[in-house]
Amino acid sequence: MERAHAACGAAMARTRRGRGSVSNRSGRFEPNTVALFDDGWESLGLLENRRTHVSEETAKTIITRNASPDISFERSINPYRGCEHGCVYCFARPTHAFMGLSPGLDFETRLFAKSNAHERLERELAAPGYKPRAIAIGTNTDAYQPIERQRRIMRRVLEVLARHNHPVGIVTKSALVLRDLDLLAPMAEKGLVKVALSVTTLERDLARAMEPRASTPSRRIEAMGTLSAHGVPVSVMVAPVIPALNDAEIEAILGRAAEAGASEAGYVILRLPLEVDDLFREWLNECRPERADRVLSLIRSMRGGKTYDATWGRRMRGTGPYAWSIGRRFELAARRLGLNRRKLRLSTAHFVAPAGGGGQLDLFDDPPMQGCPMPQL
């Protein structure tokens, strides 16, 4: 039996090399549950070497609206479904269940690219009565994930926003954002853009285990410095803060970011909605087993005895003494480093709507959906 478990574990390790999730457990809408086990016929080999597969998706609308009171943006764009960065803690993983896919390995290997995103965006900006407000990109899945190097969907979206002087806030874990400096720097001169780099840890090994295909922590810090040197306002997101795993690094991360030129900072306590709960537990038990009990105990202490509380106003910050101490540490460090002295408000004054906004839609074309909310996790 022990030999079988060892073979199973070795096969799983080969299956997920370079991936964040430990398993490909079924989503909550599936009638059957799939479990990985060794049947003695080496069938586990069928799951090995999972390569990234990208499907084309024709978007019917591209600007998503949300009314969540604890989120600072009303509009967002997601050029991709799924994310190759493979962050094991990603709160967006459950959205793959709506596609009939697993929030586990499927989320980071079976991706959907909205190749017509820039065309849709142009039409939605041209809609009669459209009023510009800052659009957030990278709040669900990372627009600068590895497949963006070839697909360039984010690049085309940014070109549309730059052409029409539309404000945008970008969140990413990738130094690939520097590719678009030729667009970002001129937009920054008009007060149209700011970029937030998310830094979870400064420890290279921990970062590789938790977010295997994101840029290394040092590359993200270097990207902050380059953006700042070119006049692009930079923020740092310490997200997620995981108790007993990376919370000791809050001050160090803020310090490195401030040195690189960041002027604003934020943090989010680990969120474990729906399938993410089991996926994160699996990862803890495999990658950090000596800390698993302590991590989960502290998470429950910040979530009213549960591992997750979706209540607005509490889901991002948690409650209880430990959550309070994290918040105070963050505030004190940010104040000492001169972060958040002022919050940059992006400008809508320069917006120029695309021509032909009142034109007739194509006969068989779907009009842009208004007020389509983000799924609440």
Q: What pLDDT sits at residue 35?
A: 60
Q: How far is CA 136 from the centre of its chain?
A: 11
Give the residue with greater pLDDT, 71 vs 114: 114
CB neighbourhood size of 327 (10 A): 15
Mean pLDDT score of the chain? 88
Task: Tell me the C-alpha distance between 348 and 343, whole Å.
Answer: 16
54 pLDDT higher than 80: yes
What average pLDDT does this structure show over 315-338?
97
What average pLDDT does this structure show over 227-248?
98
Which residues, other chains included, contact 364 with Cβ-Cβ below 8 Å and sequence gap of 6+? none
Provide φ and ψ at 369, rounded to 5°.
-80, 135
**Full-model pTM:** 0.87
CB neighbourhood size of 347 (10 A): 16
Q: How far is CA 241 from CA 129, 253, 294, in A?
A: 41, 11, 14
What average pLDDT does this structure show over 211-240?
98
From 2-6, 290-294, 310-314, the region with the lowest mean pLDDT: 2-6
Domains in the chain (CATH in brackets) are: 2-43+56-337 (3.80.30.30)
What average pLDDT does this structure show over 161-170?
98
374 by Cβ neighbours in 10 Å (0-12 / 13-18 / 19+) ranks as middle
Q: Which amino acid is at 268?
A: V
Pairing of strands 64-65, 53-56: unpaired
232 pLDDT higher than 70: yes
* pLDDT band at 9; cut points 50, 70, 90: very low
Q: Are the C-beta atoms of 225 and 235 separated by less than 8 Å? A: no
